[in-house]
């Protein structure tokens, strides 16, 4: 369904994506795994035809550069950062995007019900929680029943309950025969949704593993994910590194590999430094490479 052939993308002297080839058959589900800056989002944007690049990408046989419009009609895309106009009504947003995608005969309530938003059509988008906004984005991405879903760190800003519910929705879609390509830094998400995991580092594919083998292959360790306001993330990383924890920015928070007996230590350190913590959780297995300072 998606064929990526020797795709490269440079920003100045930096190779964001470097000679990547990947084939995703119909019904397959592939996770892109890597640190911030590994090339996950850039590769996704190349697949969507949003960036100029070297190489070739085909979706359903359509070249995204020369046949971009029919290629994009086959894709439902959910980004990490949503661009909704908050004063727009929920039902109005569905109708608006249906017109943009030239999808006729949309039954708004059915669209909303398919993503667990039945009864919310009369609300303004600003009244929705973060998880509900992501559900709305998914419902809009599914307009026209595209065979391919492309997702970029879509659960990064959700709390634990919202993330669990959203993953359950996606799991049902993955089991319905749709092809999934998604970027993630969460082992639980990868395990629930992916059949294959493509490892990216500095824009290059460094390997491919099954979700079950991800932790073993990459050196499993417990990882603490701490959600912080963007104003304090940099300071938090500096403080934790100074105390011997190789913290690294990822998504809306900081990832910290921790020994089992020191799971609480990074939280205590941040509290001592009066750095407010919005949320935290243990992710389980991750990689030594992911958390290298």
Q: What is the pLDDT of residue 5?
A: 98
Q: What number is the average pLDDT over the span 55-68?
A: 96
Q: Given the DSSP bridges, would you call strands 196-201 and 179-184 parallel, antiparallel or unpaired?
A: unpaired
In the predicted structure, residue 220 carries a pLDDT above the cut 70: no
Helix (H, G, I), strand (E, B) or coil at 256: strand
- Region 278-286: mean pLDDT is 73
pLDDT at position 217 over 80: no
> Which of 37-41, 53-57, 117-121, 256-260 comes out lowest in average pLDDT?
256-260
152 and 193 belong to one structural domain: yes
Using the 3D structure, point to which of 185, 215, 245 is the last residue of a domain.
Answer: 215
**Residues facing residue 24 across a β-bridge:** 2
Confidence of residue 103 (pLDDT cuts 50, 70, 90): confident
> How does residue 287 score in pLDDT terms, banded at 50, 70 and 90?
very low
Q: Any residues with CB less than 8 A from the CB of 93 and at least 6 apart, and which?
A: 84, 85, 125, 136, 140
Query: 3-class SS at 87?
Result: coil
Range of the domain at 226: 219-291
Q: DSSP per residue over 196-215, as a string?
A: EEEEEETTEEEEEE-TTTHH
Among 195, 215, 235, the domain-final residue is: 215
Higher per-residue confidence, 217 vs 74: 74
**124 and 225, same domain (yes or no):** no
Residues 190 and 107 in one domain: yes
Say if residue 291's pLDDT is above 50.
Answer: no
Q: 225 has which bridge partners?
A: 255, 281
pLDDT given at position 41: 94
Indicate the pLDDT class of residue 162, thresholds 50, 70 and 90. confident
Looking at the fold, whether 128 and 262 belong to one and the same domain comes out as no
Confidence of residue 148 (pLDDT cuts 50, 70, 90): very high
288 alpha-carbon distance from chain centroid: 21
Instruction: Give me 13's structure tokens.
Output: 């002297």
Residue 288: what pLDDT? Answer: 40
- Tell me what percent of the residues of the chain surpass a pLDDT of 90: 54
Question: Average of pLDDT values for 263-291?
Answer: 75
Q: Which residues pair with 14 in a beta bridge?
A: 11
Pairing of strands 29-33, 196-201: parallel
pLDDT above 70 coverage of the chain, percent: 92
Last residue of a domain, one of 182, 215, 248: 215
Q: Are residues 208 and 227 in the same domain?
A: no
CATH number at residue 196: 3.40.50.300
Whether residue 197 is found in the same domain as residue 122: yes
pLDDT per position as a tens digit, 222-269 = 788 899 998 999 999 999 988 878 888 877 789 888 765 567 888 989
Q: pLDDT category, 6, cuts 50, 70, 90?
A: very high
- Bridge partners for 256 per DSSP: 224
211, 233: one domain: no
Q: What is the pLDDT of residue 260?
A: 58
What CATH number did the domain enclosing 261 receive?
3.30.70.790
Same domain assignment for residues 60 and 121? yes
User: Residue 223 has what pLDDT?
Assistant: 82
**Whole-structure pTM value:** 0.73
Question: What local confidence, expressed as pLDDT, does residue 203 receive?
Answer: 95
Query: Same domain, yes or no, for 69 and 155?
Result: yes
Query: How much is the mean pLDDT over the chain?
Result: 87
Q: Which residues pair with 249 in a beta bridge?
A: 254
Does 208 share its domain with 225?
no
From the number of C-beta atoms within 10 Å of its C-beta (0-12, 13-18, 19+), residue 246 rates as: middle
Same domain, 22 and 130: yes
Same-domain check for residues 42 and 113: yes
For the chain, how many structural domains are there in total?
Answer: 2
What angle (nearest 5°) sits at the alpha carbon of residue 18, between those of residues 5 and 220?
Answer: 105
- The whole-angstrom separation of Cα 234 and Cα 249 is 8
The full DSSP string for 113-172 is: HHTT-TT-TTSBGGGS-HHHHHHHHHHHHTTT--SEEEEESTTTTS-HHHHHHHHHHHHH
Read off the pLDDT band of 292 (50, 70, 90). Answer: very low
What pLDDT does 265 receive? 84
């Amino acid at each position: 369904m998606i064929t990526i052939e020797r795709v490269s993308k440079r920003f100045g002297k930096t190779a964001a994506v470097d000679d990547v080839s990947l084939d995703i058959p119909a019904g397959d589900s592939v996770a892109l795994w890597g640190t911030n800056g590994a090339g996950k989002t850039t590769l996704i944007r190349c697949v969507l035809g949003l960036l100029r690049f070297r190489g070739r990408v085909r979706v359903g046989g359509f070249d995204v550069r020369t046949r971009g419009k029919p290629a994009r009609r086959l894709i439902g895309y959910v980004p990490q950062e949503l661009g909704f106009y908050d004063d727009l009504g929920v039902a109005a947003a569905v109708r608006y995007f249906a017109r943009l995608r030239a999808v006729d005969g949309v039954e708004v309530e059915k669209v909303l019900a398919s993503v667990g938003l039945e009864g919310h059509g009369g609300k303004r988008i600003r009244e929705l929680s973060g998880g509900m906004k992501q559900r709305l984005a998914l419902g809009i991405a599914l307009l026209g029943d595209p065979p391919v879903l492309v997702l970029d760190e879509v659960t990064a800003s959700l709390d634990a309950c919202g993330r669990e519910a959203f993953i359950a929705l996606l799991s049902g879609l993955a089991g319905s025969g749709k092809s999934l390509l998604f970027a993630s830094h969460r082992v639980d998400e990868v395990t629930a949704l992916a059949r294959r995991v493509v490892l990216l580092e500095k824009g290059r594919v460094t390997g491919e593993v099954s979700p079950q083998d991800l932790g073993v292959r990459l050196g499993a360790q417990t990882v603490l994910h701490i959600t912080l306001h963007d104003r304090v993330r940099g300071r938090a990383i500096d403080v934790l590194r100074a105390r011997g924890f190789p913290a690294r920015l990822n998504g809306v928070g900081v990832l910290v590999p921790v020994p089992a007996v020191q799971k609480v230590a990074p939280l205590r350190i941040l509290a001592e430094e009066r750095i407010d913590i919005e949320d935290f959780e243990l992710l389980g297995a991750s990689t030594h490479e992911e958390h290298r300072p």
